[in-house]
């Protein structure tokens, strides 16, 4: 099983950007944590961080046939990008939206997600653990889907 972990704008600044909101963990540390979890789950991960909306749209669009699922922190593009919404929907690849902070408890403009409606789930508010929870949830979802597709039972 292969998972793409996508990170949107300003996430390269984690650890020093508004640590009271986003914590002190860097994106490199989150990647190391996810790599450890992925090994335990027996899945492989690829990572991409970009501040460019078009690069993220392209990565999502090209995920079909290459990845079984996507863990995606669209960051500020969550609240603005119809293009990312459309790319996730068109790809057909199961995607989990992830946020370090509880976006529902922040500014009004952060409470609207254009990407969540086309994702299988959303994890927010648990800091760096949000990524681990998203990966666990996505892998569980994919394994259940495979079991059903192979005639297995999930209950």
User: Which active-site residues does the annotation give?
Assistant: 22, 99
One DSSP character per residue, 80-143 reads: T-HHHHHHHHHH---EEEEESS-GGGS-GGGG--SSGGGSSEEEESSTTHHHHHHHHHHHHHHH
Q: Is residue 49 within 8 Å of residue 7, measured between CB atoms? A: yes
Q: Is residue 76 within 8 Å of residue 104, measured between CB atoms? A: no
Q: In whole angstroms, what separates CA 113 from the centre of its chain?
A: 13
Cα(130)–Cα(25) distance, integer angstroms: 12
Beta bridge partners of 99: 124
Q: In whole angstroms, what separates CA 151 from the centre of its chain?
A: 28
Of 76, 130, 59, residue with least CA distance to 99: 130
């Amino acid at each position: 099983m292969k998972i793409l972990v996508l990170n949107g704008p300003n996430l390269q600044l984690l650890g020093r950007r508004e640590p009271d909101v986003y914590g002190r963990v860097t994106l490199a540390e989150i990647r190391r944590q996810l790599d450890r979890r992925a090994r335990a789950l027996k899945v492989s991960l690829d990572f991409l961080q970009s501040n460019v909306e078009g690069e993220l749209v392209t990565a999502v669009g090209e995920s079909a046939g290459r990845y079984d699922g996507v863990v995606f922190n669209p960051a500020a593009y969550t609240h603005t990008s119809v293009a990312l919404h459309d790319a996730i929907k068109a790809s057909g690849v199961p995607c989990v939206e992830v946020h370090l902070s509880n976006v529902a408890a922040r500014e009004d403009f952060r409470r609207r997600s254009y990407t969540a409606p086309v994702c299988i789930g959303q994890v927010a508010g648990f800091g760096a653990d949000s990524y681990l929870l998203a990966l666990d949830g996505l892998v569980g979802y994919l394994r259940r889907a495979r079991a059903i597709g192979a005639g297995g039972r999930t209950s």
